[in-house]
Amino acid sequence: MGKDTIANIITSIRNADMDKKGTVRIASTNIAENIVKILLQEGFIENVRKHQEGHKYFLVSTLRHRRTRKGTYRTIFKRISRPGLRIYSNYQRIPKILGGMGIVILSTSRGIMTDREARLERIGGELLCYIC
């Protein structure tokens, strides 16, 4: 059984969001830093800081809980491509989540980016996950 760092990131954030935790701690890797940076830019995370324990680095992120009149609602994180089944798309076939309200995170030849950035640069890649 291999490590799926992207699924670990998504699961950690989803579990902390469902449990209404204020912060979540994620192991720091290049992929994790890029995904958290995108979540910070899109407003799903309030802030992030790098924390060291021994020889390991962690990203400590403060989650933003969005509220409605009936209380808080959950942010939906869904993994698309996985180690057993990789899903690739060109820029024209990148799915629009909720008519463009959600975001898709892609791994492209120019790094990890959102679906809007990939469409503007006209490049496709591996569909990592979507968030709405």
100: tokens are: 């463009």
Q: What is the pLDDT of residue 102?
A: 94
CATH class given for the domain over 3-129 = alpha beta
Q: What is the pLDDT of residues 64-105, one digit of tens each?
A: 876 666 666 678 999 999 999 999 999 999 999 999 899 999
Are 59 and 36 in contact by the 8 Å Cβ rule? The answer is yes
The pLDDT assigned to 70 comes to: 67
The structural domains of the chain, with segments of one domain joined by +, span: 3-129
Please report which confidence band the pLDDT of residue 1 belongs to, taking 50, 70 and 90 as the band edges.
Answer: very low
Q: How confident is the model at residue 4 (pLDDT cuts 50, 70, 90)?
A: very high
